[in-house]
Structure 1
Amino acid sequence: MTICPCCGFKFSGALSDGCKQCGARAVGEALPRPANELPSYGRALVLVVTGSLLVLVFTTQTIMAMAQRSSGSLERLFQFWQWIAAGETAAWRLKWISIPVLFLALWVGLKIYRSIRQEPARFCGVKQARRGLLASAMVGLLIALLIGITVPARLRQRQMAIDAGIQADWYTVERALFEYQARYKTYPADFNDLQKRIADPHGTLAKALANLDQSGYHPGADVAAVDTGQSRNLRGAVIRKASLTSTDDAAPQGLAFTTFELRLPGEDKILGTEDDWIGHEGVITRLKDVAKGGVGRSVSAGILNP
């Protein structure tokens, strides 16, 4: 079976007789294979270029991060930990691109390196290929190491950002509640009343209330009540304090709420779980800290129970 190099037609016979489809024919015998062949540098060059490019990209990103961190200060350029921090920044910037590329480069590089080792007569540059492969591996390990040592700090920063958002909602609602109390001498019975009577030109109050649950708001009041446990023959009446909330059906007409407690959902956005927050009398704290006896221990037991 002969294949024509011109048109690819397969036919039986010699090419010197001509192709049966296009008519092309061989003008002479094929050249003999040379007795000595020079080994190829091509595969080793691929590994060297790949490793060099990865090192160059990471170094460039580190220098750019250092330039941003130094802000014109020459002293920081000679501080070791500043360069480590710049490397961490560069590693996080390159993580989504460099990690897949590194895995691919290492996988292909290992196959190329093995082929060079298996056929030293055809391919040369084993040392250069090894150095290029090691450079690729070192960049990958360095990026993984720099990302790994910063994961705990970034998780703490993420949690701080979540806590700051919850506290921002609390302070926004608290400011509106205090404004309502200063204007009407009472706290609102519910959030609907708060939204109707407090101006919200920028929508910050509505946004904060959208993240809260109405059932977490508990206004209360201190009112005078007659102690029926004493004898009627006593002069006057013994006065004691009784705490009433907005859920009390027997609340007197025109009752003024003088205090409030607000429970905010935590990271899971579900009220009644362990990550909830408690706001009471200008103080906000985690529910689990209240249960341990920390700040906010004076919050009533009814609020602590979901």
Structure 2
Amino acid sequence: MTVCPCCGGKFEGNLLDGCALCGARAVGEPLARPEIELPAYGRGVLIGAIGVLLLLSFTLSTIIALFEQTQLTIGFWAVVSAAETAAWRLKWTVLPFSILALWGGWLLYASIRRERVRFAGHDLARCGLSACMLVIVMIATFIGLTVPERLRQRQRGFEAASQAQRYTMERALMEYRERYKTYPTSVKDLQDGLPDPYGSIATALSNIDPSTYQPRANLADASAGKGRRLRGAAIRRASTSSATDDTGNEKISFTNYEMKLPGPDKIPNTDDDWLLRDGVVIEPSKSAPQN
């Protein structure tokens, strides 16, 4: 089967006799292949260039992170810290591209090895593959070094948020006490009785089980002369119109309270709940009942 270079037609025969479709004829026999053919460097250079570019991008990002530090110091740990920052910045760009470049470069390098006569640049290809692997290893290593510290920072963030919630509730109860000379009878009274322009109190109360708030009051027993402590729920159920009630129709002032606050898991009524009692924050291990 012969293909005519003029019309592209396919026919059986020799071009010296002319194309059967368009009549074009060859001017002579095809040129012989050269005795010496130079190998191509294109594939090897391509693999090497990609590896060098990836390595330069990581190095440049590390230098930029080094100069972005508050106090510029050229030292081992300063460079390590800058490399960690660069690794996190490049994890979604350079790292995936390095993996793809390593895979594609390995396929090209395999073709170079199969046809050593046609292709040259074996050393360049190996250097490019090594650079790709080096970038992948460095990014993965520096990210892995920072994972424990980032987990600790994340835990400290949870603890700070939980602590802010505890202090918000403590401040709100103190403000309510100063304004009304008593603690609120319920969580709803606390939310309705104080201004909350920034929504901090509402946010803190959204994670709290209202039933865990228990106000108490010390009432003097007129007959025995002894103090007795009543829970807020019991006081609210008591009848204020009874003729035998020692307190009459006077408004009861709550002087003590207890409230459970969610711990780091942000789930109320669990073992890690904190206890807020009369303005004192008690850790879960100390607030747990002793057997």
TM-score by length of 2: 0.83
- Partners of 1:242 and 1:217 in 2: how far apart? 16
| Contact 1:102 1:136 (C-alpha < 8 Å) held by counterparts | yes
C-alpha displacement at 1:265, in angstroms?
A: 2.6
Deviations 1:18-58 (A, max 9, x none): 374xx484644443332221111111111211111111111
- Partners of 1:252 and 1:61 in 2: how far apart? 74
Q: Select which of 180, 187, 211 maps to 2:183.
A: 187
* Structure 1 position 102 matched with structure 2 position 103: no
Deviations 1:66-125 (A, max 9, x none): 111144x4xx12x21111111111111111222211211111122222222222111112
| Contact 1:223 1:243 (C-alpha < 8 Å) held by counterparts | yes
* Structure 1 position 162 matched with structure 2 position 149: no
Q: Which residue of 2 aligns with 1:115?
A: 111
- Partners of 2:259 and 2:23 in 1: how far apart? 92
- Partners of 1:15 and 1:217 in 2: how far apart? 102
The change in CA–CA distance for 1:189 and 1:40 in structure 2 (over 3 A counts) is same
- Partners of 1:7 and 1:273 in 2: how far apart? 84
Q: Which stretches in structure 2 are left out of the alignment for 5+ residues?
A: 241-250
Q: Which residue of 1 aligns with 2:243?
A: none
The change in CA–CA distance for 1:241 and 1:38 in structure 2 (over 3 A counts) is same
TM-score by length of 1: 0.79
- Partners of 1:243 and 1:148 in 2: how far apart? 56
Paired residue secondary structure (2:142): helix
Q: Select which of 214, 220, 223 maps to 1:218.
A: 214
C-alpha displacement at 1:185, in angstroms?
A: 1.5
Deviations 1:165-218 (A, max 9, x none): 122122222211110011111111222211221111222222322333323333
Q: Which residue of 1 aligns with 2:247?
A: none
- Partners of 1:213 and 1:201 in 2: how far apart? 23
Q: Which residue of 2 aligns with 1:129?
A: 125
Paired residue secondary structure (1:95): coil
Q: Which residue of 2 aligns with 1:150?
A: 146
- Partners of 2:114 and 2:78 in 1: how far apart? 45
- Partners of 1:6 and 1:205 in 2: how far apart? 85
| Contact 1:15 1:25 (C-alpha < 8 Å) held by counterparts | no
- Partners of 2:178 and 2:121 in 1: how far apart? 83
- Partners of 1:110 and 1:203 in 2: how far apart? 58
Paired residue secondary structure (2:92): helix
Paired residue secondary structure (1:121): coil
1:194-213 to 2 correspondences below 5 Å: 194-213=190-209
- For the aligned residue pairs, the C-alpha RMSD in angstroms reads 2.8
Paired residue secondary structure (1:246): helix
Percent identity over the alignment?
Answer: 44
Q: Select which of 248, 268, 277 maps to 1:271.
A: 268
| Contact 1:244 1:251 (C-alpha < 8 Å) held by counterparts | no
Paired residue secondary structure (2:68): helix
- Partners of 2:271 and 2:32 in 1: how far apart? 82
1:1-306 to 2 correspondences below 5 Å: 1-3=1-3, 11-14=10-13, 16=15, 17-18=18-19, 20=21, 23=22, 25=24, 27-28=26-27, 29-71=29-71, 73=72, 76-77=73-74, 79-225=75-221, 237=224, 239-246=226-233, 250-251=237-238, 253=240, 254-284=251-281, 286-287=283-284, 290=285, 297=286, 299=287, 301=289
| Contact 2:39 2:118 (C-alpha < 8 Å) held by counterparts | yes
C-alpha displacement at 1:64, in angstroms?
A: 0.9
C-alpha displacement at 1:261, in angstroms?
A: 2.4
Q: Which stretches in structure 1 are left out of the alignment for 5+ residues?
A: 227-235, 291-296
The change in CA–CA distance for 1:239 and 1:61 in structure 2 (over 3 A counts) is same
Letter in 2 for 1:279: L
